[in-house]
Amino acid sequence: MKDVVDLGTSLGSYRLGSPLIAACGTVGSVVDFAGVADLSVYGAAVAKSVSGTPWPGRPAPRLAPAGAGMLNGIGIQNPGAEEWARTIGPQLGLIDTDVWGSAVGRDAAEFGHVAGTLTGTGVAAIEVNLSCPNLESGRMFALDPADAAAVVAAVRKATKLPIGAKLTPNSEDIVAAADAVATAGADWVVLGNTVWGAGFDVETRRPLLSGVVGGYSGSPIKPIALRCVWEVSQALPDLPIVGTGGVSSGDDVVEFLLAGAAAVGVGTVHFATPRAGARIAKQLRKYMRRHGVTAVQELIGAVEPW
Ligand SMILES: Cc1cc2nc3c(=O)[nH]c(=O)nc-3n(C[C@H](O)[C@H](O)[C@H](O)COP(=O)(O)O)c2cc1C
């Protein structure tokens, strides 16, 4: 029997064949991950963030299981935008889905430089990773709506590609941050990144991460990410959202769609199950058939009131 379930969705005028997005930092450069899993199940896959110059990252240990989730303190290790464009860029045409570049930097000008360099490689969109510290204030750009907007404005100037601004669930006011980056030219927001966390080994009495505080991800953060998506979709209904945090099943994807996301990131689950995307897509189709839903778009914001 022909499958009549339509997984297509859109982020503004940018069309995606699937609402699943392979989340930044969990599928390497995307090119290396293509040999491990079928990337065609994703509407897009986001390559690891790159900066203007190479960043060495933090010393080991940089990853640790913590409860049902995971702590990471990678420090955004990357070869720098020019080297990335030279080595990874030429391979992007071989990937079975759209690849988004992810830009980081220490100031707005560095973000703009990276976005311009990535644009030349054939990426389909630029994700702006605002969860890194501003050189001037030492605070994460995403925590200050004006700082975040200045970065997005610089990226907007540097590229004609669609821009997704990736915000942080650590934000005091996620709606203010989303509003500021949308006004500055972001086509959608990604909600969100990891939640600050820490852990300690009681036998060695050492921190689990060399940097002590890192990013917590995986299933325990799902309600936090859902709350961010809900708040922004209620306040800014015209702003497309990529909901991201703790997704590991088709039902998790449906939850994010109901909360108002138009697409849904799949991240930490890749570490234990690199081929999770295919299973999640299958579960989503099954849910839709079971509930008589023919198009994913019918589920976006389709929450029933009490
Ligand atoms: C090991 C690791 C590395 C990550 N690196 C990046 C990164 O470079 N840039 C970025 O924007 N997000 C990065 N993230 C955040 C993920 O893209 C995602 O937003 C977050 O982990 C929440 O989703 P999840 O719970 O499904 O993993 C990273 C996450 C993990 C676990």
State residue 2's pLDDT score. 59
- Catalytic residue (one of 132, 158, 180, 229): 132
- Position 129 in a domain: yes
Q: Atom 3, ligand 1: which residue's CA is nearest?
A: 25
Q: In CATH, what number is assigned to the domain containing residue 274?
A: 3.20.20.70
State residue 170's pLDDT score. 96
State residue 214's pLDDT score. 95
State residue 1's pLDDT score. 54
Pocket flag, ligand 1, residue 76 (CB < 6 Å)? yes
Q: What is the 3-state secondary structure (H, E, C) of the chain?
A: CCCCCECCEEECCEEECCCEEECCCCCCCCCCHHHCCCHHHCCEEECCCECCCCECCCCCCCEEEECCEEEECCCCCECCHHHHHHHCHHHHHHCCCEEEEEECCCCHHHHHHHHHHHHCCCCCEEEEECCCECCCCCCEHHHCHHHHHHHHHHHHHHCCCCEEEECCCCCCCHHHHHHHHHHCCCCEEEECCCEEECCECCCCCCECCCCCCEEEECHHHHHHHHHHHHHHHHHCCCCCEEEECCCCCHHHHHHHHHHCCCEEEECCHHHHCCCHHHHHHHHHHHHHHHCCCCEHHHHCCCCCCC
- Position 65 in a domain: no
Pocket flag, ligand 1, residue 248 (CB < 6 Å)? no
- Position 67 in a domain: no
Pocket flag, ligand 1, residue 117 (CB < 6 Å)? no
- Position 305 in a domain: no
**How far out from the chain centre does Cα 109 lie?**
22
In whole angstroms, what is the distance from residue 222 CA to residue 30 CA? 24
Atom of ligand 1 nearest to the CA of 244: 23
In sequence order, the β-bridge partners of residue 11 are: 14
In whole angstroms, what is the distance from residue 134 CA to residue 140 CA? 6
- Position 224 in a domain: yes
- Position 167 in a domain: yes
- Position 71 in a domain: no
Domains in the chain, number:
1
State residue 132's pLDDT score. 86
Atom of ligand 1 nearest to the CA of 222: 25
In whole angstroms, what is the distance from residue 138 CA to residue 124 CA? 31
User: Does the annotation mark 132 as catalytic?
Assistant: yes
Q: Atom 11, ligand 1: which residue's CA is nearest?
A: 129
Pocket flag, ligand 1, residue 102 (CB < 6 Å)? yes
pLDDT tens track, the chain, 306 positions: 556 899 999 999 999 999 999 999 999 999 999 999 999 999 999 999 999 999 999 999 999 999 999 999 999 999 999 999 999 999 999 999 999 999 999 999 999 999 999 999 999 999 999 998 888 888 999 999 999 999 999 999 999 999 999 999 999 999 999 999 999 999 999 999 999 999 999 999 999 999 999 999 999 999 999 999 999 999 999 999 999 999 999 999 999 999 999 999 999 999 999 999 999 999 999 999 999 999 999 999 999 999
**How far out from the chain centre does Cα 203 lie?**
35
Residue type, 65: P
The whole domain housing 95 covers: 9-55+76-200+214-299
- Position 4 in a domain: no
Is the Cα dihedral 19, 24, 26, 29 positive or negative? positive
Residue 267 Cα to ligand 1 middle (Å): 6
